[in-house]
Structure 1
Amino acid sequence: MGFLRTLNQERIVFAITVLIFVIASLTLPGFFSTDNLVAIMRSVSVLGILALGMALIIIGRGIDLSMVAIMAMTVAWYLQMMNNGMSSSSALLLALAGVIAIGLINGFLVAYAEVPAIFVTLATASFTYGLVRSQMIDQDAVPIPAGSWLEDLGRLRLADVPIEVYLFAALALLGFLCLRYTKWGRYVYYAGDNPIAARNSGMPVRPMMMLRYLISALIAFAAGLLTAGSLQSMNTRVVNSTQLYDIVLVTVIGGIGLSGGKGGMRNVLIGAALIGIMLNAMTILDIPLLYQNLIKSAILLAAIIFDGVINPRDEQTAQQGDI
C-alpha cells in the first residue's frame, strides 16, 4: 500500500515508457540499433523543444495554440525574404520582430485584456497563417536558399548525433534550472497555482504572463529554424497537421497539470520519450498514419481525463476559462 501511494502520473508514464522500450527492443527488428535510437531522439527533439515552451505556459495556467503557426510561418517568411535577395541578417531581424510582436500580442491580450488564452492564441495562429500565406510567401513549401547557414545547421552532428538533440537537452536543463532555482521560476508556479493570491502578494503576475508568451514564441521560432535546417525547407502545411496536438500530448502525458502550478521540464522529457518510442514502434510495425493518429488521440484524451481526476480544476480556474 505504501508503494501504491507513491505512484503518480510521472512515475506511471516512466514505467510504461521503459516497458514499451524493453518489449520493442526484444521483439522489433532494428529497433535497438544505434541508427534507430538516434532517429528516435531526433524525431522527438523539435517536438520536445516546442513542448518545453508549452509546458512553461501551462504551468503558469495558460495555453498557447499559436506555437505551430509561429514556427512554420515566421520561418517560411524568413526563408522567402532570403530567396528574394534580402541578406540573412536583415531577414532574420524582421522575422524576429514578427515573432516578438506575436508573443507580446498574445501575452497582452491574455494578461491585461483578460481574454481566455485558448481563444487568443487560436485567433493569432489563424491570423498569422492567413497573413503570411497570402501576403508574404508564394508557395506552401519554401526552400532554404543555397549557401544559407541553415544548410550547415541541418547537417551538423556531434558524435553522430544531430545538433537538435543537444539543443533539446540544453533547453530542458536551462528550463529546469530557471524553474527550480530562480525567483522567476517560483513565481511561475505561484501564479499558476493561485494567480489572484500571487497578485495580491505583490508578484508581477501580468508582466510575467506576457514574458512567458514571448518566450513561447521565441522557442517556436527556434524550433522552426531547426526544422528548416533538417528538412532543407519549411512546409507551411504543418500548421494544419496534428503537430499541435502532439505538443499538448507530450506536455500532458508526462504529468504537467492543466490546472496550472504543477510539473516541470522532467515531465516533458518523459512524455517525449514515450511518444517517440511509441511512434517509432508503430512505424516499424507499419501501422497506417490514420491509426497512429487515432491511438495518439485516445492517449491524449485519457491523459486529460486522468489529469482532471488527479488535478481537479478549482472554481477560480473554471471562472477564468483560460484553458
Structure 2
Amino acid sequence: MTGTFHSGGSAPRTEKNTGERGGALARPAGGSGKPRLPFGRGGAAGSREVHHLGLVAALVLLAVVGLVTEPGNFATSGNVVGILALAATIGVITVGQTFVIIGGGIDLSVGSVMALASVWATTVATQSYGPAVMALCAVLVGTGAGVLTGLLISYGRLVPFIATLAMLVAARGLAQRMSDRRTQLVRPENDAIEALSTTKVLGLPLVVYIFAAVAAAGWLVLNRTTFGRRTFAVGGNPEAARLAGIDVRRHTLTLYALSGFCCGVAALIIMARTTTGSSTHGDLYELDAIAAVIIGGTLLTGGRGTIAGSILGVLVFTLITNLFILNGLQTSDQLIAKGAIIVIAVLLQRRGLRSPT
C-alpha cells in the first residue's frame, strides 16, 4: 500500500472515513502509518442474518401459495427441477452482478452479452471444433465484452450506466447480425453441451451444480480474499480505497470482466437447456439480475452486499415467475410485479439507511 496519513500530534491515533456505504479507512495505532483496507461486508452480521431469514420466509410463503393454487403441478419433481434450472441461468449472471454493484457500479448489458456469447458459440465455424471449443468460446466472448465495458468505465471514464447501456445495445445488435435473427441449433455431434442439462446427479441436472460451484466460488472470493475486501472498499469509498493503495481503475475493470465471465458461463447453461444460440436469449435478464441483487440486500450505491442474499433473491424471483406461469398469468403481469418489488426493495433500503444505528 502506498498511501499514508500523518497525525497532527505526537501520539498515534486512528482516523476513519466512514459513511452509509460501509467504507472505512483507518490508520492503525502503533506507528507504521499505513492505512488498513476498508471493510464493509454488508453491515452488522445480525442485520444480514435477519434479512436472509426474511428471504427464506418469503420462499416458504411462495411455496405454500404454489401448493394451494396448483397442488397437482407445483410440487412435482419436473417443476422443481425446472425452477432450479432457470435459477441456474439467472443465478450465475447474478453472482457477477453482485460483485459489480458492491463495487459501486452496475451492468445493464448482462442479458445481451449472454445472447452474443451463445450466438458466437453456435456458429457453424465454432461448432466444427467441438463442444469444448464452443464452451470456451462462450466464456471468452462474455469475458471479452466485460473487459471492453470495464475499459470504457475505468479508463474511458464513462459512467457505468452509459457504458453498459451502450454494450447492451451493441451486443444485442451484433448477435442479431451474426445470426441473421435466426435461432442456431447445437449440432447432434455436439450433444455434450446438451448433456449438461440432461445428465442428472442425485436427481438434479449438471447445470444446477455449475450454478452452485459459481455461487460458492463467488462467496469465497468476496468473503475470504483480498480481492473481496477491495471490492467492498472500492464500492464503499473509492477515494479512501485509492489512498489505501488500491488501483481502483484496474479493480473496476476486473469486476466487469468477472461479470462478463459469468455471462459466458450463463450462455453455456442456456445453450445446454435449449440446445440453441439465439439473439433473443437473455431478454430482460438484466432486470432479473439487478432485482435479485437488490432483494438480496446489496446496496445500489455500493459497498455492502452478500452473495447468499443475491442467491436467495434469485430463488424468490424464479419462484414468482414459476407461480405466474402455472397460474396462467401474462408476462406483462410478471413485469409489473417485478417492477413493484424492485421499487419497494429500494425504498426499504433508503429507509434502513436513514434509520439511526
1:169 equivalent to 2:212? Answer yes
Percent same amino acid among aligned pairs? 26
Inter-CA distance 270–94: structure 2 relative to 1 (3 Å threshold)? closer
Matched residue, 1:116:
159
Match of 1:270 among 302, 308, 312: 312
Deviations 1:165-220 (A, max 9, x none): 11111111111111111111111111111111001110122211111111110110
8 Å CA contact retained: 1:81, 1:91 = no
How far, CA to CA, are the matches of 2:140 and 2:325 in structure 1? 39
Q: Greater CA deviation, 83-92 or 110-119?
A: 83-92
Post-superposition offset of 1:98:
3.7
Inter-CA distance 5–81: structure 2 relative to 1 (3 Å threshold)? closer
8 Å CA contact retained: 1:58, 1:258 = yes
How far, CA to CA, are the matches of 2:212 and 2:304 in structure 1? 21
Structure 1 residue runs of 4+, over 6 Å off? Answer: 4-7
Structure 1 residue matching 2:232: 3-state secondary structure: helix
Higher helix content, 1 or 2: 1
Length, aligned pairs only: 307
Match of 1:204 among 247, 257, 272: 247
Inter-CA distance 6–175: structure 2 relative to 1 (3 Å threshold)? closer
Which residue identity does 1:78 align to in structure 2?
A
Could you tell me which runs of 5 or more consecutive residues in structure 2 were left unpaired when the two chains were aligned. 1-45
8 Å CA contact retained: 1:82, 1:91 = no
1:289 equivalent to 2:289? Answer no
* Aligned CA-pair RMSD: 2.4
Inter-CA distance 76–287: structure 2 relative to 1 (3 Å threshold)? same
1:14 equivalent to 2:56? Answer yes
Matched residue, 2:199:
156
Inter-CA distance 88–229: structure 2 relative to 1 (3 Å threshold)? closer
How far, CA to CA, are the matches of 1:304 and 1:87 in structure 2? 45
Inter-CA distance 110–5: structure 2 relative to 1 (3 Å threshold)? closer
Inter-CA distance 279–97: structure 2 relative to 1 (3 Å threshold)? closer
How far, CA to CA, are the matches of 1:163 and 1:153 in structure 2? 5
How far, CA to CA, are the matches of 2:174 and 2:79 in structure 1? 39
Q: Greater CA deviation, 112-121 or 150-159?
A: 150-159
What's the TM-score, normalizing by structure 2?
A: 0.79
Deviations 1:239-277 (A, max 9, x none): 5x3222111111111111111111111111210121122
Matched residue, 1:319:
none
1:215 equivalent to 2:242? Answer no
Larger Rg: 2
Match of 1:28 among 58, 66, 70: 70
Q: Greater CA deviation, 4-13 or 186-195?
A: 4-13
Deviations 1:215-245 (A, max 9, x none): 1101101101110111010221235x32221
Post-superposition offset of 1:79:
0.5
Which residue identity does 2:223 align to in structure 1?
R
What's the TM-score, normalizing by structure 1?
A: 0.87
Deviations 1:13-51 (A, max 9, x none): 332222222343345313223332222212211111111
1:64 equivalent to 2:99? Answer no
How far, CA to CA, are the matches of 1:114 and 1:224 in structure 2? 29
Inter-CA distance 86–178: structure 2 relative to 1 (3 Å threshold)? closer
8 Å CA contact retained: 1:107, 1:209 = yes
